Structure 1
Amino acid sequence: MAFVRAIVQGYARYGKDPSEALAQARIAPRELRLQDGRVTAAQFEALSGHAMQELDDEALGWFSRRLPWGTYGMLCRASLSSPDLGVAIKRWCRHHRLLTSDISLEFQATGGVATVSIRENVDLGELREFCLVSNLRFLHGFASWIIDSRVSLRAARFPFDAPPHREAYPLMFGGELQFGAEAASYSFDERYLAMPLRRDEQALRTMLRRALPLTVLQYRRDRLLGQRVRELLRAHGRQAGTAEALATLLNLSTRTLHRQLREEGVSLQQLKDAVRHEQAAEQLRRTERPIKNIALSVGFRNEKSFSRAFHAWAGVTPGAFRRASPDSASGSLPRRDNS
């Protein structure tokens, strides 16, 4: 409801009555006073769409000049011909500067992490939170839509104290949330940037028939989910050893986690086995730790079950793999061993 009140403030800025917009969204005026009030995504989309057209301002009063109806559609179209997501985001940020000088969208990618941030060039006043949140969500929604994949965020940061409605933020952004930051921003895995665009002009026209799909449409599939699960298994070990623990780290339900992995053609058990094999092989090559200790470190209860699983993965026993490793004294290649 806090964001509904922000739209009503936009009407006040233009000296107009929001009654018709509220009625279109089936929001009673008395509900605006409810501090813990909520609206559905469909209600918010209906309200925003009506307001943007009635005020002829897709910025809903955030900026010192209007952004006429169709402005963000133009921004989408300017990025549509990009060869990959990275170029599309750069074009979005560059072209956004032509719309307003009140804020600047900035983008950087380094160390495997891509970050979109907002520089505030003027005092955004009472609509500051709504402006910053909406602009981050517009670009995040466009990025997810244009590659037909939910871009999972690692973190989202906001330059204000946690608001009373902070419980809505995990639903909007996901990942680690930080309030009181230096600037509004979010970050995600840099590998998304190389993903090709999967939408064309016809798909764009269909999407733009609705007023605000970029901020409310959730993309179920994350095309990098399998890789992210591997990374979590490597980084957190046994703490991420169950579907429930992984789902919590990824801000997903366990059902969604299993379904999305299935859509990628892989299971959680296959990923766990692959990481266990990788870690065990590394320890066998690089260390002289007893095989029993290696078995325990990668999640097996005993050496026997570990040896049986490792033989299924590598075609040789752990001992034979270690003896044949290039880093060992023998330096020969592994061969099949049925011992």
Structure 2
Amino acid sequence: MNALAAISSTAHPLWCPLVTVPLHQRSFGGTESRRLRARQLLFQLQDEFLGCTPRRCQPGAFETLCELAVHSSNLDDMFLRGIRFLNLISDHLEINYYRYHNARELVVRLRNPQGANVDLFVETWLCAWHRLACWVVGRHIPLERVTFSHAAPPSRDELTSTFGPVCQFDSVCNSFRFSSDFASLEPTRSSLDVHELVAAGHANPLDIPEIDSVYTELVSAAIRQLSEKWPKDMPSLIRVAGHLHMSPQTLRRKLTEEGTQFKQLKDELRREFVKDALRRSHRALEDIAEQAGFSETSSLIRAFKRWTGMTPNTFRRRG
């Protein structure tokens, strides 16, 4: 009896199926990290769809997705470009992007899925899309809702850690939703950044870097808190830095590391104020412009068209 035969005859009966069943057909237990299992599928199968479609998606598709993303005009354009690309390379993948007035929603569905790890595919690609969007614009984009058509896994806490406390299971579709306020954000990355991702081995659905927005959120909150007449009299960088007990240079560097700038945060808060005022009040445009810190109403109109692609009056009529 050779060594392999000896091992086979004495091993635990569960050992043989783990050797003979193809990787993409195995159903993994709930105690192992879902991310680790997805990584195993990705690299052993060399399939960015994790063995869940009849035709393998060769490594490199997500890299192309990154290239398309950095050349987009804004976040809406990034999703639409990426979806066109993925729907072109696979007949077994259906991705839709819905643009509502106050929200954006990405929905992912597999046609004729195969294998035992479709749930992992859904979780991996929803996470990949979200992280790609955050990476491209250099900002963390908080999700308002994440839905999965499958039941909650034993390692539910891992998904909560990934997406936040907004996950819903046994839903009608696999999706995530975020505020439309982020839809007009422009890319802060370039092809050089994509090349760096590739060099670091991060240009795949599992390793796209997560954007940390701790200081971005701290500064935004401080600006609101310190504004005496919101938002006309926003505080200076020096004042916000003092409020956070750090030097202006350190604060500026922290924001740069998170892909944003102090002026950009003030502009985004001003945009948020104007849109909210248009939705919730009937105040004259001149009053809103003055309170938002614009010297002239025409300046507000130009800025608003740059933010949303429409005039304030059109935005207000649409509700």
1:195 pairs with 2:185: yes
Deviation (angstroms), 1:69: 1.9
* Residue pair 2:24, 2:115 contacting (<8 A) in 1 also: no
Deviation (angstroms), 1:57: 1.8
1:98 pairs with 2:93: no
* Residue pair 1:80, 1:199 contacting (<8 A) in 2 also: yes
Greater radius of gyration (CA) = 1
Deviations 1:100-158 (A, max 9, x none): 22221110111211000013321344211011111111111111111111111111000
CA distance in 1, matches of 2:214, 2:21: 40
Deviation (angstroms), 1:224: 8.0
1:13 pairs with 2:22: yes
Secondary structure of the residue aligned to 1:98 is helix
Query: Given residue 59 of structure 2, which amino acid in structure 1 is its aligned partner?
Result: W
The equivalent of 2:163 in structure 1 is: 173
> Which of 212, 215, 218 is residue 220 of structure 1 equivalent to?
212
Q: 1:44-59, aligned counterparts within 5 Å?
A: 44=36, 48=39, 52-59=42-49
Query: Given residue 138 of structure 2, which amino acid in structure 1 is its aligned partner?
Result: D
The equivalent of 1:144 in structure 2 is: 134
Percent identity, aligned pairs only? 17
Q: Per the alignment, do residues 85 and 63 of structure 1 end up closer, same or farther by CA in structure 2, a change over 3 Å counting? A: same
The equivalent of 1:325 in structure 2 is: none
Secondary structure of the residue aligned to 2:116 is helix
Q: 1:258-269, aligned counterparts within 5 Å?
A: 263=255
* Residue pair 1:141, 1:215 contacting (<8 A) in 2 also: no
Q: Per the alignment, do residues 202 and 126 of structure 1 end up closer, same or farther by CA in structure 2, a change over 3 Å counting? A: same
Q: Per the alignment, do residues 215 and 223 of structure 1 end up closer, same or farther by CA in structure 2, a change over 3 Å counting? A: farther
The equivalent of 2:123 in structure 1 is: 133
* Residue pair 2:69, 2:136 contacting (<8 A) in 1 also: no
CA distance in 1, matches of 2:198, 2:132: 11
Q: Per the alignment, do residues 206 and 179 of structure 1 end up closer, same or farther by CA in structure 2, a change over 3 Å counting? A: same
Deviation (angstroms), 1:58: 2.0
User: Where does the alignment leave 5 or more consecutive residues of structure 1 unmatched?
Assistant: 1-7, 17-31, 234-258, 286-339
Deviation (angstroms), 1:78: 2.5
> Which of 68, 76, 83 is residue 86 of structure 1 equivalent to?
76
> Which of 50, 59, 78 is residue 60 of structure 1 equivalent to?
50
Q: Per the alignment, do residues 213 and 222 of structure 1 end up closer, same or farther by CA in structure 2, a change over 3 Å counting? A: farther
The equivalent of 1:324 in structure 2 is: none
CA distance in 2, matches of 1:125, 1:51: 11
Secondary structure of the residue aligned to 2:51 is coil
CA distance in 2, matches of 1:15, 1:156: 25
* Residue pair 1:150, 1:223 contacting (<8 A) in 2 also: no
Q: Per the alignment, do residues 162 and 193 of structure 1 end up closer, same or farther by CA in structure 2, a change over 3 Å counting? A: same
The equivalent of 1:110 in structure 2 is: 100
Query: TM-score when scaled to structure 2?
Result: 0.57
* Residue pair 2:63, 2:204 contacting (<8 A) in 1 also: no
CA distance in 1, matches of 2:66, 2:191: 10
Query: Given residue 101 of structure 2, which amino acid in structure 1 is its aligned partner?
Result: G
* Residue pair 2:75, 2:185 contacting (<8 A) in 1 also: yes
Q: Per the alignment, do residues 12 and 199 of structure 1 end up closer, same or farther by CA in structure 2, a change over 3 Å counting? A: farther
The equivalent of 1:155 in structure 2 is: 145
CA distance in 1, matches of 2:115, 2:221: 41
CA distance in 1, matches of 2:214, 2:182: 10
* Residue pair 2:66, 2:203 contacting (<8 A) in 1 also: no
CA distance in 2, matches of 1:70, 1:80: 16
Deviation (angstroms), 1:192: 1.1
* Residue pair 1:156, 1:175 contacting (<8 A) in 2 also: no
Query: Given residue 220 of structure 1, which amino acid in structure 2 is its aligned partner?
Result: D
- Number of residue pairs matched by the alignment: 226
CA distance in 1, matches of 2:77, 2:67: 13
User: Where does the alignment leave 5 or more consecutive residues of structure 2 unmatched?
Assistant: 1-16, 226-250, 256-260, 284-319
Deviations 1:237-296 (A, max 9, x none): xxxxxxxxxxxxxxxxxxxxxx99x957599xxx9xxx9xx99xx99x9xxxxxxxxxxx
* Residue pair 2:23, 2:41 contacting (<8 A) in 1 also: no
Q: Per the alignment, do residues 53 and 38 of structure 1 end up closer, same or farther by CA in structure 2, a change over 3 Å counting? A: closer
Query: TM-score when scaled to structure 1?
Result: 0.54
Q: Per the alignment, do residues 86 and 103 of structure 1 end up closer, same or farther by CA in structure 2, a change over 3 Å counting? A: same
Q: Per the alignment, do residues 187 and 222 of structure 1 end up closer, same or farther by CA in structure 2, a change over 3 Å counting? A: farther
* Residue pair 2:62, 2:205 contacting (<8 A) in 1 also: no
